[in-house]
Amino acid sequence: MEIEWPVILIMSLAIINGLLTSIALETFILLKQMSIKLAFKTAIGMSLVSMISMELAMNLTDVALTGGAILNWWVVPFMLFAGFVTPLPYNYWRLKALGKGCH
């Protein structure tokens, strides 16, 4: 069964799902240490720029290697690598220049 959606729509949906999942998981984990309001605020503040860049890099890698939004088993390691290294410069700068970590 083939989905007739444009690649940009599939990528956008994947990015939104990734962001929502990440924020939900971080909020859940932080609930053991703080109130739900503070946990959610902290999860949102845990570098939304990093999360967006990671999701974008992973999806662009998928499109570049498969020619579309076609997730194959062999592309997953490349996507994970791209998603890992892409936010590193921003996170390093944030830690060194601003002295701000995730929490």
- The whole-number pLDDT of residue 99 equals 72
* pTM, 2 dp: 0.75
Look up tokens 């989905």; give the residue: 3
pLDDT higher for 32 or 68? 32
Look up tokens 């990093």; give the residue: 50
pLDDT higher for 52 or 4? 52
Could you report the per-residue pLDDT of 17-55, keeping only the tens digit for each? 989 998 999 899 999 999 999 999 888 887 788 889 999
- State how far the Cα of 37 lies from the Cα of 12, in Å rounded to an integer: 27
User: 56: Cβ–Cβ under 8 A, 6 or more apart, which residues?
Assistant: 15, 86
**Segment 60-69 mean pLDDT:** 89
Residue 80 region by backbone torsions, left for phi larger than 0, else alpha for psi between -120 and 50, else beta = alpha
